[in-house]
Structure 1
Amino acid sequence: MTLSRHENPASTKGPDATGAPLHRRGIKSYVLRAGRATQAQTRGLEEVWPRLGLTLADSRQDLRALFGRDAPQVVEVGFGMGGSLIEQAATHPETDFIGIEVHAPGVGKLLDEADKRGLTNLRVYREDALAVLDQCLPEASLATLQLFFPDPWPKKKHHKRRIVQPAFVELVRTRLKLGGRFHLATDWAAYAEWMADVMEAAPGFSNTATAETAPYVPHSDFRPLTKFEVRGEKLGHGVRDLIYRRLG
């Protein structure tokens, strides 16, 4: 399971809609795992990073200047090994993408592949997603924020580590344009219910699902199938997508 595992922001007091405490500063929803990088991953980190990599030190971004054009901006939090994000960037050249991931091999692999495909509409942060959203991405700037297959932290004592919490959702809301979309997907039924509970209680969002499928939406062609989704289907895990739109 991958890999949207990011430090949670400080919270206000009180429980969220699920009864779990809101994020406290210092609680992380990811665990950094050591691993040996392949030659391609090392190439991405060393040779491609200077062109496509971004850091917190770059501060608040002017996204039009960053990509040299005015285009829809899509951010993916926790892209894992990057396969889905690469396919999106290749399939939708009219859209600009920013990926955020803390896992070095995944960042290296995505950068290497982006370079080999000659993609110019993709940039990457190897940083904590909460810090990037807070410090680097302008308010009301994003057409879509994607959170696909985050770590479900299935044990109850670990639920506080789940990235989908009221404080995170509010931060996402401020970064979306009016009408912008927050797209979530998971193959863990219990986490899907958690996501729905948190989102339904969050102010400033509207569920895009129809009455027949609510709270979930059918799989969108905009989200490529991932190996985790294929694996989940083989294991009998139904994948659930939720898409919420930012209201005025």
Structure 2
Amino acid sequence: MPSEPRTFRDRPVSFVRRSGRMSEAQERAWTELAPAYLIEVPRGVAATSVAQGAQVEPAAVYGRVAPLIVEIGSGQGHAIVHAASGRPGDDFLAVEVFRAGLARTMRDADRAGARNLRLVEANAPEVLEHMLPSASVSELWVFFPDPWHKKKHTKRRLVTADFARLAARALRPDGMLRLATDWEDYAQQMRAVLDAAPEFERAFDGEWAPRFDGRVLTAFERKGERAGRAIRDLAYRPATP
């Protein structure tokens, strides 16, 4: 007998997809703006998966050849909309699984006139593995990912050796991986993972990278600061062959 089709991923994902309803404004933004901003991708085994063979060509998506900056876990879109509206010569891709956040991002991008921004509703590692061409990304941003701070949940954290391999595949040889978190143990774990990854080398001196001045101050960062947590930045470049 043929085997039953898989309905679940082989590995845990770094998110729990909540089913909260969108506001009327978000529903309207999704309906009106998704055709211009959202990249539709073939699905694999889950609603946020990306099927093998779903690769897109950035030049075809954006209608030009320009540096591509990808933010993983873009949330409400504050950082990437700010960056895209201020850097019209670059192209931006927001990767997020929460539809309400994507709708807010599209609405704010439209108001800001950010036509160089696209969005994808998908699990980030699968975007890196199946959707983006090899060596197509100039900068990859991971700002304030879910820390999964309970010990039993740390296996869900995004930044692992597998993630490092996929990130290195997507980045250009002169590209940059930028990360930030307000959870000290996650910062230390990310640094340990990337220091050990043969695909990367540090792009900073000392214990931590300086704050990336291209990152707008978001609600996540303010929340961490109010709680007295130190904000840790990291920056890595693909290792020289």
Once residues 180 and 64 of structure 2 are traced to their aligned partners in structure 1, the CA distance between those partners, rounded to angstroms, is: 29
The alignment status of 1:240 with 2:235, answered yes or no, reads no
Q: Deviations over 1:218-243 (max 9, x none)?
A: 11211111111111111101110100
Higher relative contact order (CA 8 A, sep 6+): 1
Question: Is it true that 1:122 corresponds to 2:117 in the alignment?
Answer: yes
Residue type of the partner of 1:229?
A: E
TM-score between both structures, scaled by the size of structure 2: 0.88
Query: Once the two structures are aligned, what percentage of the paired residues are identical?
Result: 40
Residue in 1 that maps onto 2:94: 99
Identify the residue that residue 196 of structure 1 maps to in structure 2.
191
**Once the two structures are superposed, what CA deviation does each residue of 1:2-45 show, in whole Å capped at 9, x if it has no partner?**
xxxxxxxxxxxxxxxxxxxxxx9231210011222122211221
Aligned residue identity for 2:176: R
Alignment gaps of 5+ in structure 1: 1-23
Which of 68, 79, 88 in structure 2 is aligned with 1:84? 79
| 1:85 shift after superposition | 1.0
Q: What RMSD over aligned residues (CA atoms) do the two structures have, in Å?
A: 1.4
Measure, in 2, the Cα distance between the counterparts of 1:39 and 1:95: 31
Structure 1 match to 2:46: none
In structure 1, the residue matched to 2:217 is 225
- Partner residue, 1:140: 135
TM-score, normalised with respect to structure 1: 0.86
Q: Aligned partners of 1:227 and 1:97: how far apart in 2? A: 21
Alpha-carbon contact 1:187-1:239 (below 8 Å) kept? yes
Residue segments in structure 2 that go unaligned for 5+ positions in a row: 1-8, 43-52
Q: Which whole-Å deviations, capped at 9, do the CAs of 1:43-102 have from their partners, x for residues lacking one?
A: 221110011101223921111221112211001111111111110111111110000100
* Corresponding residue for residue 149 of structure 1: 144
Which residue does the alignment assign to 1:52? 37
Which position in structure 2 is the counterpart of 1:163? 158
Task: Quote the Cα distance in structure 1 between the aligned partners of 2:175 and 2:239.
Answer: 8
